[in-house]
Amino acid sequence: NSPTRLLWLRVFSIFGPMDSPSWLIPSMIDTFNEGKSFDLTAGDQQWSYLHSLDLARAVKMLLGASEIRGIVNVGNESMTSIRNVAIQVASLMNSSAKRRK
C-alpha cells in the first residue's frame, strides 16, 4: 500500500469564460460594450491574474507529478495593478477607464 497523497491547491485570481458578470473583468467588458467608460478608484491594488486554461494546465501537471504534495499556490507569478488591467481591457476594446475624482 502506498500512502495517500494530499494536495491542496490554493488558487488565486482566475479569469476566463463563464465568469460571473459582476466580477471585475466581465463587468468592464460589459460596460465598454455599452459604449461607456469604466470608473475606477486609484486601482493600486496588486493582483495575480491567471486564465482558466492556465489553471487547467497547472492542475493537470500537478496531478501527474506524484512527488508534489501538500499546499501548492497556483497563480500567475507576475503581479499587476487593477488600474493596469482596466487600461489593458479598455485599450483592447478601444474604450476608456477613468479614475474617479
pLDDT, one tens digit for every residue, the chain (101 residues) = 667 889 999 998 898 988 898 988 899 889 888 888 888 888 899 988 999 999 999 999 999 999 999 999 999 889 999 889 888 888 888 876 665 55
pLDDT at position 1: 60
Please give the pLDDT value at position 63: 93
Q: Kindly report the number of other CB atoms within 10 A of residue 24's CB atom.
A: 18
Q: What pLDDT does residue 69 have?
A: 94
Q: Are 7 and 68 in contact (CB under 8 A)?
A: yes
* First and final C-alpha spacing in the chain: 64
> Could you tell me how far CA 20 lies from the centroid of its own chain?
12
> What pLDDT, on a 0 to 100 scale, did the predictor assign at position 99?
58
pLDDT score for 97: 65
Gap between the Cα atoms of 24 and 52, Å rounded: 15
pTM of whole model > 0.85?
A: no
Q: For residue 86, with 0-12 CB atoms within 10 Å meaning exposed, 13-18 middle and 19 or more buried, which class applies? A: buried
